[in-house]
Amino acid sequence: MMTSKQRILKVMRGEMVDVIPFVPRLDLWWLSNATRGSLPKKYEGMMPDDISRAEGWPLYHMVPNFADVSSMDDVLHRALGLFNFRQSAYGWKFTDNIKVVTQTNEQGMQIIEYHTPVGVVRTIGGLTDAGKRSGSSLGWVQEHPIKKVTDYKILGCLFENIEVFKQYDSCKEYIDKVGDDGVVAVGGPTLAASPMHMIQKDLIDTTKFFYDYKDNYREMRELADKIEVYFNKVLAIVADSPAEVVLWGANYDDMITYPPYFEKEISPWLRKVSAALNSKGKILATHTDGENFGLMDAIYNCGAHVAESVTPYPMTKVKIEEYYRRWKDKITIMGGIPESMLLDVSIKEDEFEAFLDGCFRDLIPGDRIIFGTADSTPPDASFDRLRRISDRIEKEGRLPLAGKKYPQVISKSGATLKAPPTKNENENNLQKGAQTNEKEDMNMEMLRQIAAKVEEGDAAAIKTLVQQCLSQNISPGDILYKGLVAGMEPVGVKFKKNEVFIPEVLMAARAMKVGLELIKPKLAETKTESKGKILIGTVREDMHDIGKNIVAVMFEGAGYEVIDLGIDVSNEKFVEAAKTHGDAKILGLSALLTTTMPYMKEVIDAVRKVSPDLKIIVGGAPVSQAYADEIKADAYAADAASSVDIVKRLLD
């Protein structure tokens, strides 16, 4: 009889087996519920693997396994993207040239100073109780090591002083512990796929990365070259390790790791790793849990054998059958069941069953699929739904799938379940800049130049042009709307069409802000009004900010005044902001975790008591239109590009 391990490995290699494996990761679900004391009574006192075995589910372990930390030293250097787990095929240590000084602040976060021969860098991060309750096992980084351009050289020295060594015995012991019940994917040097990806993902604030990638690329590349030495050492060790599967790289998203960047900075390293592992008969898995709409071809051609933690529609734009159609001849899809499917508050029963119907109907013949929850089983998951997925796979997941007709299911809202609209269907004709019937004169030419330089992201030129306009008594309102805003509008249109990406948006926004700062005093003097004031923030216990930041940029670029309340914003702070800014017209709420999503309703209920006319928009990966309707939000924004259109519609 085929073991779970044999079945999973065969599917990873593209072979047809007897039944589709179902491998739900329970580690984060277990950590959150164990912390909250809310494990099912039957499983109190049991570990995640024990629960999976009791349910008859195979195991899948990723190394590093952040739910299995032997001591805090394992994750002490998390803000550098460096981990030391006994299960890994390698270990590392600093040479005597590096001195590490650690202290803990009142919030339980570690403040770490790294003293090198060329300078000192500092990080702040850690795992708080709130993080554990939300299912986080990795912790948050409050302060990244790169804050100024001189930090690149210091970090380069730090990575030059890392020694890497084999630890095959403990790695094999861990693999043997899982045994025939599942598979262990041994990790690479970090969760990033390449040295540049490591800088982006681990060493610098996400938004600052894009500015530095434009402004300080030489220093960034020099650091990446020094990190590459560390990567090469780790690759040599894991390629010869006892592991049969290697997990290399994680967390791709077509907005953050946008297509040209992915092809330039990530694909070459994944292909290099693939070649090294192929020569040793090993399997390369890469963790593709983000929005892959714009990365489908890039990931297909990156050399990976397994796209792990695939998260399809409705949490992202790509439906599971589209993943299968595009990738099945080369890549095994692991995951495929978005975690929102396990949440009663997000997905209704009929929608849940319809999703499963579609899997058995459309994923024919069913090879190269390993079902699991993606990214992981959320803390508030319905355990009953997990069991029902397992039962249906046992009954209907026998291979090869022949396909079966299921009745079309209508959602509670009365709309037929379908894929998200295409870009053409979703495209609105945005206003293309303020028009004027005035004679084409020098003033208008200068305003057109401002618009052009905003679109190009040329902040220096904007400063000069705006100063010239002010010296010629061009009204600050015209500079704002016919120059700065007019320049941002085509950027927004192109961003929506995937013709430009985050760097271009941020550069244009930075140029616009330079001009805006120059005219702000004049705007106040002339009482020139913005299009409206918008409050925006990420709900409490959620530290994600890049999506919120991009939405804020889009609002500012459209001429709105934005009050950014930040991340981890308490209900009380939202209420206070609504009181303080009584003239605000919109409140935007962001949540990137299934555990923080319910706080949106609390905020809406509290804010409506003090500001009943304030329009509230919600968004974030786990949020859906159905959930927005349920919590009585005024609108749902599926992505940053559509947010401006939604605000315009609400305020019309």
Query: Of the given ranges (283-287, 447-451, 464-468, 521-525), which has the lowest mean pLDDT?
Result: 521-525
Label residue 570 by pLDDT band (50, 70, 90).
Answer: very high
CA-to-CA distance for 286 and 270, rounded, in angstroms? 9
Query: Of the given ranges (117-131, 451-465, 488-502, 607-621), which has the lowest mean pLDDT?
Result: 117-131
Query: Of the given ranges (78-92, 121-135, 182-196), which has the lowest mean pLDDT?
Result: 121-135
Label residue 7 by pLDDT band (50, 70, 90).
Answer: very high
Query: Of the given ranges (71-75, 90-94, 523-527), which has the lowest mean pLDDT?
Result: 71-75
Question: Rounded to 10 degrees, what is the CA torsion of 353, 356, 360, 364?
Answer: 140
What pLDDT is attached to residue 388? Answer: 97
The predicted model gives 574-583 an average pLDDT of: 95
Q: How many residues does the chain have?
A: 652
525, amino acid identity: E
Q: What mean pLDDT, rounded, does the chain reach?
A: 90
CB distance 8 to 182 below 8 Å: yes
* Six token digits for residue 381: 């998951």
What pLDDT is attached to residue 454? Answer: 96
What pLDDT is attached to residue 422? Answer: 42
CB distance 488 to 558 below 8 Å: yes
Per DSSP, the three-state class of 633 is coil
Q: State phi, psi for 280 to the nearest 5 degrees.
A: -105, 5
Domains of the chain: 4-68+165-396 (3.20.20.210), 421-528 (1.10.1240.10), 530-652 (3.40.50.280)
The predicted model gives 497-523 an average pLDDT of: 92
CA-to-CA distance for 373 and 261, rounded, in angstroms? 28
CA dihedral for 119, 124, 125, 126, sign (positive or negative): positive
Q: Is the pLDDT of residue 66 over 50?
A: yes
CB distance 201 to 227 below 8 Å: no
Beta strands in 531-641 (DSSP E): 533-538, 561-564, 584-590, 615-619, 635-637
Per DSSP, the three-state class of 476 is helix
What pLDDT is attached to residue 129? Answer: 64
CA-to-CA distance for 203 and 159, rounded, in angstroms? 12
Check residue 193 and report its DSSP letter. S
Q: What percent of the chain has pLDDT over 90?
A: 73
Q: How many C-beta neighbours within 10 Å does residue 536 have? A: 25
The predicted model gives 302-321 an average pLDDT of: 95
Label residue 68 by pLDDT band (50, 70, 90).
Answer: low
CB distance 476 to 495 below 8 Å: no
pLDDT in tens, 424-462: 443 443 344 444 444 346 889 999 999 999 999 999 999
CA-to-CA distance for 571 and 590, rounded, in angstroms? 13
The predicted model gives 365-385 an average pLDDT of: 93
Query: Of the given ranges (19-28, 58-67, 315-324, 407-416), which has the lowest mean pLDDT?
Result: 407-416
The predicted model gives 208-234 an average pLDDT of: 97
Q: Max Cα separation, the chain?
A: 85
Q: Is the pLDDT of residue 28 over 90?
A: no
203, amino acid identity: L
What pLDDT is attached to residue 375? Answer: 84
pTM score of the predicted model: 0.88
Q: Is the pLDDT of residue 592 over 60?
A: yes
CB distance 316 to 291 below 8 Å: yes
Query: Of the given ranges (8-17, 61-70, 145-154, 619-628), which has the lowest mean pLDDT?
Result: 61-70
What pLDDT is attached to residue 74? Answer: 81
Label residue 287 by pLDDT band (50, 70, 90).
Answer: very high
| Cα→Cα distances 122→73, 104, 141, 211, 582, Å | 17, 13, 11, 21, 39
- DSSP per-residue letters across 486-511: HHHHHHHHHHHTTSS-HHHHHHHHHH
pLDDT in tens, 126-154: 866 665 555 555 678 889 999 999 999 99
- Higher pLDDT among residues 298 and 417, named by residue: 298
Query: Of the given ranges (413-417, 457-461, 534-538, 640-644), which has the lowest mean pLDDT?
Result: 413-417
Highest mean pLDDT among 119-133, 194-208, 622-636: 194-208
The predicted model gives 416-420 an average pLDDT of: 39
What pLDDT is attached to residue 434? Answer: 40
Q: Is the pLDDT of residue 478 over 60?
A: yes
CB distance 63 to 184 below 8 Å: yes
Q: Is the pLDDT of residue 44 over 60?
A: yes
CB distance 160 to 226 below 8 Å: yes
The predicted model gives 104-122 an average pLDDT of: 93
* Six token digits for residue 646: 């939604």
- DSSP per-residue letters across 264-333: IIIHHHHHHHHHHHHTTTPEEEEE--S--GGGHHHHHTS--SEEEEE--TTSSSS-HHHHHHHHTTT-EE
